[in-house]
Structure 1
Amino acid sequence: MTAFTCGIVVLAVQHPNTDHLPAKSSSSSAPLTFGAAEGFAQGVVGGGGASPVYPQSNRELVAFLGDAAARVIVLTQTIDFTGSEGSTAATGCAPWGTRPQCQLAIDHRGWCAKHQPRAPPARVNDNAGLLGIAVASRKTLVGRGSKGVIKGKGLRIVNGATNVIIQNIAITDINAKYVWGGDAITVNGADMVWIDRVRIARIGRQHIVLGHQANHRVTISNSFFDGRTKYSATCDGHHYWGLYLTGARDLVTLKGNYIYHMSGRAPKIGANTVVHAVNNFWLDNPGHAIGLAAEGSSALVEGNVFQNVKQVYHQPIRGQLFSAPDVKTNALCKGPLGRKCRTNALSSSGGNVLRADTAFLLSFEHKSVAPASSSAWVKCCVRRRAGTKLFAVGTDTPIGNSDEDDSCAGCEQEEGEDEG
């Protein structure tokens, strides 16, 4: 097996006793983020060189994220919004059945009456999860070590927000029992957004949703989308509502993500959206991974690994797809991307489509295109890198939940062109 050299990059903000400092106090000169965005959001700076602040309460976190100042916001603890805005008991429905493992649905804008009129009503939801925290322009939100967690409420990067970095945090436990119970990260009408090394788990609706307004340049990288749940629309412990990318004229890079235990929408790609899915690892999906059901949707899918995925592509495909089918065909990428594309690898997976639509590849010309490693590198390394997998502050113990072969010596970015 090929051995990959690596050193796991450490994010360790060495600031003594920061947990006990006032929210706005800091004397640290160490870099608070690491790496740089690849792909369409290359060049994003977030809060830039602003002095870091350390929110100590729900109110401080909301204020820092939403104000007009450039901010570097360092999350050093779990900020729990559960129960902070009360709860609601009202009519909902059970469109997928009333077994304990099935999700129920909130009657969002009359959804139950319109789509599931015969479903029995039932719901009590936590209000805090319904609407995420507004994130304004020029913001960096970064977790320290493994400590940065937002529980019970998501984030909303909307209304023209630009230059936003979300890195090394977890977002968890947002009305997991209820569809329409809340999304982890919403991007709608934004530009230059980088979501990196984020772990998302136990969410009622989408892990990430790009809304109908244009989201011009977005990179989602090195993140762990954990679909394990007690409640799901497929009633099998696999979360269905993964990533819904449906904005107008969106350019989205998905790179190095670990998409685990989902059963659909991983991602669902809407019309007029261009997605570059490169070097991601899909594992354990009894439904489908990628959906291109809308005319005008398009995806370049290269250098990925699909393992135990029942249907790689949801049918029918109405958009354009370049699935990097073979070495010869992959040379067609050379013009618009400046390099050949990488083949994907499938293991115990079905529903693959060998397709080489090329017209939409012109969208990549003169854009920042993420480099691609081989699928062998992905299988070896993505689970090690994705999510909040950095060294715990003050220890030498890596944080992670991967089970890759010990022969994977490490995971620095592999370089070089495709086989052949």
Structure 2
Amino acid sequence: MKLATSLIGAFVALAQVVTSEAVVGKADGFAYGVISGGNASPDYPADIEELKSMLTDATPRVIVLKKTYDFTQSEGTIVGNVCLSWGDAHSCQQIIQDDCGETPSMTAKWWKAPTQPIDVASHKTILGVGNKGVIRGKGLRFRGGASNIIVQNIQVSDLNNKYVWGGDAIGFDGADLIWIDHVTTHNPGRQHYVFGFNPSTRVTLSNNYINGNSTYSTSCDNYHYWNFEMVGTDDQITMKNNYMYRTAGRAPALSGGTLLHAVNNVWSDNGGHLLEGGDSKARGIFEGNVFTDINSMVADYAGRLFGTPAGSESKCKSALGRSCQTNSYKQSSGSLDSYTDTSFFGDFSGLHIASAGSAAQAASSVPQNAGAGIINVGA
């Protein structure tokens, strides 16, 4: 009987390894070639302490998440000053800030854990199983030379979303070769994705769901303003097949010296503006994207941009090695057709270029297939 029990246990363990450790697909775009934890045997962290230890140590790992890891209350609370910059209505965000000037302020309390993300070390694969891999109350950050990392099929959420500076979901600052795929972010205090000043190179963000439907917002109407902050001095970012829903700004804020390739993404129901950025060194190609019900396409933007107006598709060949796909605008107040700058196309040289389908294909497939719980990483 003991032998039979032992054999059954070994079989279950083997089945767990076979069904749960494998990354689905390969990175397209700038992060092409990333292998992260490679063939390392999968690790199943028992609790938040073990998860944090595995994420930050120097060992290449495949870290499999099969439950919710809730950091929210783990480090206690902070009491401090907040500014009531958008009013004191129940649905308005407040800013964590010591000096509010003439803006009304008050004392508030928030969770400490979400304000400090986990700095993920190099050579890590982070995989969620089914729809079970959830990290609450802590963001993930890649910085200081961290490289060769894959994050797939998880949710990162609930980071003091009532407070600006309450917590970012996914962060980069001086990283290389990072693939974020089929990740859902929801209810951050500030950014869904934030890039710091130090250059982050060969980054691909694909098939992610940026859920901006938030209880608290700067406009007090449940549309999240803080979505993509791109200020790196020389960042290289591919955005492909991502779904941005109920945003109000910084979607993205394309600034710094960022080089962006935005392909086959879908933006839907934007209550403010979509694109902004105050740095003339920023550059981007937008192709094959879908923009539906966007209140305002562009706020203040100082960088260079190619928006692929109809008839100009072949101009992309010098940058991408192929023609671009035109964008689609539905119920939108504007377009990117007036942006036709090709002077930066040589900057794509040497980078792996993502493939592209039509905007019509993106419209039918991206919203249904973006985010965690969609792909079958394991059972």
TM-score by length of 2: 0.93
1:121 and 1:30 map into 2 onto residues whose CA distance is 48
Deviation at 1:384, TM superposition (A): 1.4
1:394 and 1:364 map into 2 onto residues whose CA distance is 36
Higher strand share: 2
1:96 and 1:64 map into 2 onto residues whose CA distance is 40
Deviation at 1:306, TM superposition (A): 0.3
Partner residue of 2:232 out of 247, 255, 266: 247
Are 2:186 and 1:201 aligned? yes
1:70 and 1:385 map into 2 onto residues whose CA distance is 29
Deviation at 1:394, TM superposition (A): 8.8
Are 2:34 and 1:50 aligned? no
Deviation at 1:118, TM superposition (A): 2.2
Are 2:368 and 1:390 aligned? no
Are 2:306 and 1:322 aligned? yes
Deviation at 1:324, TM superposition (A): 0.4
1:139 and 1:35 map into 2 onto residues whose CA distance is 16
Aligned to 2:94: 104
1:17 and 1:45 map into 2 onto residues whose CA distance is 30
Aligned to 2:293: 308
Q: CA RMSD in A?
A: 2.1
Partner residue of 1:378 out of 340, 362, 365: 362
Aligned to 2:345: 361
1:184 and 1:51 map into 2 onto residues whose CA distance is 27
Q: For 2:367, what is the secondary structure of its paired residue? A: helix
Alignment of 1:136-215 (within 5 A): 136-215=121-200
Percentage identity across aligned positions?
Answer: 41
Partner residue of 2:64 out of 74, 86, 97: 74
TM-score by length of 1: 0.84
Are 2:271 and 1:286 aligned? yes
Give aligned pairs, total: 370
Aligned to 2:245: 260
Could you report, residue by residue, the CA deviation over 1:320-359 in whole angstroms, capped at 9, with x for unpaired residues?
A: 0000011x21211112211001100001111323221001
The one-letter code matched in structure 2 to 1:198 is V
Aligned to 2:330: 347
Deviation at 1:391, TM superposition (A): 5.7
1:183 and 1:29 map into 2 onto residues whose CA distance is 31
2:340 and 2:317 map into 1 onto residues whose CA distance is 13
Deviation at 1:279, TM superposition (A): 0.3
Could you report, residue by residue, the CA deviation over 1:377-397 in whole angstroms, capped at 9, with x for unpaired residues?
A: 0110001110014267899xx
**Deviating more after overlay: 382-391 vs 46-55:** 382-391
Contact 1:171 1:199 in 2 (8 A): yes
2:270 and 2:138 map into 1 onto residues whose CA distance is 26
1:89 and 1:54 map into 2 onto residues whose CA distance is 35
1:219 and 1:72 map into 2 onto residues whose CA distance is 19
Aligned to 2:208: 223
Could you report, residue by residue, the CA deviation over 1:56-89 in whole angstroms, capped at 9, with x for unpaired residues?
A: 1000100000000100000000000111100112
Deviation at 1:286, TM superposition (A): 1.4
Are 2:30 and 1:40 aligned? yes
Deviation at 1:375, TM superposition (A): 0.5
1:130 and 1:162 map into 2 onto residues whose CA distance is 23
1:214 and 1:268 map into 2 onto residues whose CA distance is 16
Aligned to 1:416: none
1:87 and 1:157 map into 2 onto residues whose CA distance is 25
Could you report, residue by residue, the CA deviation over 1:243-266 in whole angstroms, capped at 9, with x for unpaired residues?
A: 111111100000000000010011
Contact 2:21 2:42 in 1 (8 A): no
Contact 1:278 1:301 in 2 (8 A): yes
In structure 2, list runs of 5 or more residues that go unmatched. Answer: 1-7
